[in-house]
Amino acid sequence: MPELRTEEFQINMGPHHPSTHGVCRLLLTMDGEKVVEAVPYVGYLHRAIEKICENRTYHMCIPILDRFEYVTSMSCNYVFSLAAEKLARIEVPERAEYLRVIMLELNRIASHLIFVGTTAMDLGALTPFLYGLRERELIMDLFEMTCGQRLTYNYIRIGGVSRDIPPQFVPKCREAVRIIGGKLADYEGILNENPIWLARMKGIGYADPQQAIAWGVSGPVLRASGVKYDLRRDDPYSIYDKFNFDVAVRWNGDNYDRFLVRIDEIRQSLKIISQALDGLPEGETRAKVKARFKPPAGEVYVRIENSRGEMGVYLVSDGSEKPVRVKTRGGSYNQLQFLPEIVRGRGYLIADLVAIFATFDVIMPEVDR
């Protein structure tokens, strides 16, 4: 019997896609049902944020950089403020540092809750998304009472934070921490031990740690492959060295571990927030910074541990009130580059590709800026 001639064909998993991680186009080369190669095409969400920042003063850059990665907007505010403070050698008051840490960790939890929800949704379990959003509402209410907004905060400023927390923040925050800690058991009950979930996630999408390091991947994706690298521990910024928390790490490097690492991280963040609330000192919430802020000429690169990996800002200043160059570095970019390496030649189906893409937790605004 003569052999059937087969050939590979290309399918476009286009920018409009229900697996919403933003607008990302993947060009898949398929051999039948199996994916041979997946090439990402980016740029659909490019808004020239870095160029815009070159024409704005430092204080104005902060709301613009809010939109750099709007799921963890506090981190974007923070990394830029850190860069400017390092350039100008500003000392941030201690209360402001504690408030910053609380906000950053709350934002990390919110981001991971969205991750849990969207990953489950991509795999067909439609309910954990709404449960995740329900918990995230608690966090967003906390943010709303503090800084007035629910998504793009403009809260962490150069020199500190913009407003002090209202008196009902601390009890509400403790309440939120308690509720979220309790609800994690719900997610684990529906998802973690579910045989269907395990069949879809375990053993799929193995990420080799050496390769991951070579591609510059950081964050939960790296920690799920066994590399215990967390900037809060290895290159501490702010006052993270005062807190007692574990770095969540898993060793199998597959989808399931990437999922579990983030659930562990939620737990650790809850721990940090409790400790920060306990130790919150009195004091000022912002150092005196001029409205026309002019840092001395120079350049600085600062990096923080975002929920997606290493987020950094490379700031070049020439002494004027507008920065010369604001280069932002986001973890999602490297993870999107890493995706074809994982998928190439392993014989995954499109359903597996969707699952892998979901567990990478790539946010397109961070990739495209």
Partner 1 sequence: MLLALMSLELVHIFRWAYGLLADTGLPALWVLLISYALLGAIMFGVLAVLALFLVWWERKIAGHIQQRFGPMRNGWHGWYQTIADAIKLLQKEDVTIDARDRFIFFWAPVVCFVAAFLAYICIPFGNGLIVADLNIGILYIMAVTTFTIIALLMAGWGSNNKYALLGGMRSAAQVVSYEVPMVASILTVIIYVGSLSMVDIVASQQSFFTWFIFRVPFGPIAFLTYITAATAEANRVPFDIPEAEQELVAGFNVEYSGMKFAMFFLAEFLNMFTVSAIAVTLFFGGWNGPWLPSWLWFLGKTLLVVLLLMLFRWTYPRLRVDQLMEFAWKFLVPVTFGNLILAALMKYLGWYW
Partner 2 sequence: MGVLKDLKNLILGMGITGKHLGRHAVTIQYPEERWTMPEGSRGIVVLLSDKETGELNCTSCLLCMQACPTAAIRIDAPRGEDKKRRLISFDIDFGLCCFCGLCEEACNFCALKMAPKYEFSTLTKDELVWDMKKLQEMGRDVDYVDTRKKKKPKESVPGPAAPKADTVASPPANAESAKPEEPKPETPEQEEGNG
Could you tell which of partner 2, partner 1, none binds residue 350, using a CB distance below 5 to 8 A set by kind?
partner 1
Instruction: Quote the CA–CA distance of 32 and 362 in Å, as a whole number.
Output: 27
- Residue 134 or 178: which CB sits closer to partner 2? 134
- By the rule CB under 8 A, 125 interacts with partner 1: yes
Interaction of residue 199 with partner 1, rule CB under 8 A? yes
Segment contacting partner 1 (CB under 8 A): 58-66, 117-125, 314-322, 324-332?
117-125
Residue closer to partner 1 (CB basis): 120 or 158: 120
As measured in angstroms, the least distance from the Cβ of 171 to partner 1 is 24
CB-CB contact of 59 with 162 (8 Å): no
Give the span between the Cα atoms of 315 and 254, in whole angstroms. 36
Q: How far is CA 106 from CA 33, 111, 131, in A?
A: 41, 9, 17
Given the DSSP bridges, would you call strands 34-41 and 348-349 parallel, antiparallel or unpaired?
antiparallel
User: Distances in Å between the alpha carbon of 33 and those of 8, 30, 196, 330, 340?
Assistant: 10, 6, 21, 33, 17
- Interface residues toward partner 2, by CB under 8 A: 56, 59-64, 66-67, 127, 134, 137, 141, 144-149, 152, 154, 162-164, 166, 186, 189-191, 193-196, 284-286, 288-292
Instruction: Indicate which single residue of 96, 354, 356, 362 sits in contact with partner 1 (rule: CB under 8 A).
Output: 354
* 192 lines the binding site for partner 1 (CB under 8 A): no
Question: Binding of partner 1 at residue 200 (CB under 8 A)?
Answer: yes
Q: What angle do CA 358, 364, 368 make, to 5 degrees?
A: 150
DSSP string, 249-276: --SS-SHHHHHHHHHHHHHHHHHHHHHH
Rank residues 94 and 164 by Cβ distance to partner 2 and give the closer one: 164
Q: How far apart are CA 208 and CA 354, in angstroms?
A: 19
Binding site partner of 56, from partner 1, partner 2, none, Cβ cut-off 5-8 A by kind? partner 2
Closest distance to partner 1 from the beta carbon of 169 (Å): 25
d(CA 25, CA 12): 7
Give residue 357's identity as a one-letter amino acid code. Answer: F
The amino acid at residue 127 is T
Torsion of CA 25, 21, 150, 61, to 10 degrees: -40
Q: Which amino acid is at 113?
A: L
Nearer to partner 1, 263 or 302 (CB): 263
193's contact among partner 1, partner 2, none, with CB below 5 to 8 A by partner kind, is partner 2
Instruction: Output the CA–CA distances (angstroms, integers) from residue 353 to 30, 55, 60, 311, 323, in the order listed.
Output: 12, 40, 40, 25, 40
Out of 10, 55, 127, 320, name the contact with partner 1 by CB under 8 A.
Answer: 127
**C-beta closer to partner 1: residue 316 or 351:** 351
Query: Interface with partner 1 includes 23 (CB under 8 A)?
Result: no
191 vs 273 by CB, closer to partner 1: 191
Closest distance to partner 1 from the beta carbon of 331 (Å):
24
Query: Would you count residue 350 as binding partner 1 (CB under 8 A)?
Result: yes
Rule CB under 8 A: which residues touch partner 1? 11, 13, 18-19, 33, 120-127, 130-131, 134, 190-191, 194, 196-197, 199-200, 349-352, 354
